[in-house]
Structure 1
Amino acid sequence: MFSGSIPALVTPFRDGVFDEAAFRKLVDWQIEQGSAAVVPCGTTGEASTLSNAEHHRVIEVCIEQAAGRVPVIAGCGSNDTRNALLHMNFSRKAGAAAGLCVAPYYNRPSQAGLIAHFSFLAENSDLPIVLYNVPGRTVTDILPETVIDLVNRYPDRFVAIKDASGDLSRVTDHRKGIGKQFVQLCGDDELWLPHNTAGGRGCISVTANVAPALCAEFQAACAANDLVEARRLNDLLYPLHYAMFSDASPAPVKYALSRVHEWIEPGVRLPLVECSDASKKAVDEALVLAGLV
């Protein structure tokens, strides 16, 4: 259902308020540069600091601006199952192609709890679900057997996974347990190349915010089995992948975008703060290497 370079969009702020005009420009630029889909209100979009009203407005604006040119995978995750369902129902009505649903954080549910949580969402909304596993942030890990169980129970509801577990063996585990119709998307930019090689179809990417054309070209090279070109582009992007996490994300990528576009401000919401001088130096050097400034 999904493939390619898919940016996990930042949410621009100006004076602490959602900067709708900048966000619309960002969506247009991403599509023009070759992004295959867009994800508002994910981790990079600072969804955890948005009110429900803000969260829904960001999704609504993204869908309006994309205007059907690419799919919108709306961030719908929550550690409150009913609030996740609220986001899914809103996103469905607004026209999203799918909902990105992260494992509930802080609560630390068991695997049985994860199955109950995601089953509830699947049974109470007809919006396709992209599972999002990022145990480094949520603590809870959606194990391969849980993913396989959910997809085999609800094959029409669970269409993809964004896997940021860092465990590349899971690509094969999922593929052998589910089948080729289930889309596997990398959630760690620096692992994008080996993830594709193992059977992945693309990446929900932080780096693609600031380097959408390069990321789209990289994914196209992978899809064409042109490993020489894929490695060349990966080498260009690799320092940028790491620079994006040289301080608390998304502060570095917002700084990077402010260097590329004057209409993006680098501000993040508390408890995050702007990235350090050392992080800015790493970002600046990576932008130069990639030819982006």
Structure 2
Amino acid sequence: MATKGKDFAGLSVALVTPFKQGEVDYDTFGAQIEFQIEAGTTCLVPVGTTGESPTLSHDEHDRVIDFVVQKAAGRIKVMPGVGSNSTAEALRLTKSAEKAGADAALQVAPYYNKPTQEGFYQHFKALAEETGLQQCVYNIPGRTGKNVEPETIARLAELENITMVKEATGQMDQASQILGTTNLTLLSGDDSMTLPYMAVGGEGVISVVGNIVPRDMIALVNAAASGDMAAARAQHHKLFALCREMLGLATNPIPLKAAMEMLGRDTGEMRLPMTPLDDAGRVQLKQSLTAYGLL
């Protein structure tokens, strides 16, 4: 049984959305896209959690996707976040991304309203059947409030356009069950879990830390994919502290935006209710970036 979604194996980067004086900073955004293309990243993932999608208007959301697709110009894949807790709204966002020329759609599990497993199935089924894009089911119960169970993902895998799952439960057993019962491409939703997931059959990561060190994440993924586990472990341990800080100092993307500001690649500006990293966190982050060799 051939693996679906295999063309998205490797490093995908969950892009930040740069802001300047309250507006999307498209000049900085364009530079970030070029940075990823030059690094050899497989896919750009705009307007996800890392891209602060909950604070973007629908018009901004559509415009960001259109901008990324146009800037990518076929040189790199684009899989925007288009999920919602409303199936009708997710469908509108997905159709808009499809019209813009996106290559796939990242669909976060409906959040807050906590559907049943049948509700999850019918939601993703509608999105898969009513649009032509490849669909990546994004399972992150720590944010959405409820797990999409492996049995539900197995049912969804029977649908032609559902080709990937972004696994952000942190549960190795769940990943193993999905990989053992489906032909989906499994992508890690946590940087620090990339190697463990790939060890059981995952094929890459949708990365946060890839915003700043894409080449190092690519080296990890490529080593694991080629079976060079010694090299993959070395990269994992090199990246581990940085990965943990990107997600551990404060809610994503607060530490990442602070890091990118320190590196001169972003203003660091966020939209409420997201607030900047506190002083103690900035000191710790600066020490980590210095120790890594980035500052």
Distance 1:248 1:233 in 2: 24
Contact 2:15–2:45 (CA under 8 A) maintained in structure 1: yes
Per-residue deviation, 1:263: 4.3
Does structure 1 residue 159 correspond to structure 2 residue 158?
no
1:276 paired residue among 253, 275, 278: 278
1:200 aligned partner? 202
Match of 1:62 in 2: 68
Q: Deviations over 1:186-227 (max 9, x none)?
A: 001111111110111000011101111111111111112112
Task: Select the residue among 254, 258, 275 that pairs with 1:255.
Answer: 258
- Residues 144-163 of structure 1: per-residue CA shift (max 9 Å, x gap): 000001111x1x21010101
Provide the secondary structure at the position in 2 that maps to 1:105.
coil
Correspondences of 1:114-133 after superposition (within 5 Å):
114-133=120-139
Q: Does the 8 Å contact 2:68/2:78 carry over to 1? A: yes
Q: Deviations over 1:16-48 (max 9, x none)?
A: 110011111001101111211110011000111
Counterpart contact for 2:246–2:252, Cα < 8 Å: yes
Cα displacement (A) at 1:288? 2.1
Give the match for residue 114 of structure 2.
Answer: 108
The answer to whether the 8 Å contact 1:211/1:292 transfers is: no
Determine which of 52, 59, 64 is the counterpart of 1:53.
59
| Structure 2 residue 36 is the aligned partner of structure 1 residue 34 | no
Match of 2:173 among 169, 178, 183: 169
Residue identity opposite 2:162 in structure 1: F
Deviations 1:124-165 (A, max 9, x none): 11111100000000002111000001111x1x2101010101
Secondary structure of 1:100's counterpart equals: strand
Question: Do structure 1's residue 219 and structure 2's residue 221 form an aligned pair?
Answer: yes
Q: Residues 9-28 of structure 1: matches in 2 within 5 Å?
A: 9-28=15-34
- For residue 143 of structure 2, what is the amino acid of its counterpart? R
* SS of residue matched to 2:11: strand
* TM-score when normalising by structure 1: 0.96
TM-score by length of 2: 0.95
How many angstroms apart in 1 are the aligned matches of 2:61 and 2:26? 12
Q: Deviations over 1:81-111 (max 9, x none)?
A: 1110011101111111100000011111111
Does the alignment pair 1:145 with 2:151?
A: yes
Distance 2:17 2:288 in 1: 22
CA distance in 1, matches of 2:244, 2:280: 13
- How far 1:50 moved relative to its partner? 0.5
- Contact 2:254/2:277 (<8 A) preserved: yes
Q: Matched residues, percent identical?
A: 38
Residue 287 of structure 1: CA displacement? 1.6
2:43 aligned counterpart, secondary structure:
coil
Contact 2:179 2:202 (C-alpha < 8 Å) held by counterparts: no
- Three-state SS of the structure 1 residue aligned to 2:77 is coil
For the Cα contact (< 8 Å) 2:78–2:102, is it kept in 1? Answer: yes
The amino acid that maps onto 1:168 is M
Work out the CA distance in 1 between the residues paired with 2:291 and 2:42.
Answer: 24
> Matches of 2:97 and 2:146 in 1, distance apart?
25
Whether the 8 Å CA contact 1:243–1:279 is kept in 2: the answer is: no
How many equivalent pairs are there?
A: 288
Q: Deviation of residue 178 (structure 1)?
A: 1.3
Structure 2 CA distance, aligned partners of 1:188 and 1:75?
Answer: 16
CA-to-partner distance for each residue in 1:226-274, whole Å, 9 max, x for gaps? 12211111111111111112112101101111122x2411111100100
Listed as ranges, the gaps of 5+ residues in structure 1 are: none
| Unaligned residue ranges in structure 2 (runs of 5+) | none
Check if 1:89 corresponds to 2:95.
yes
Segment drifting more, 120-129 vs 13-22: 120-129
CA RMSD between the two structures = 1.1
Map of 1:186 onto structure 2: 188
Q: Contact between 1:248 and 1:275, CA under 8 Å: does it hold in 2?
A: no
Structure 1 runs, 4 residues or longer, greater than 3 Å off: none
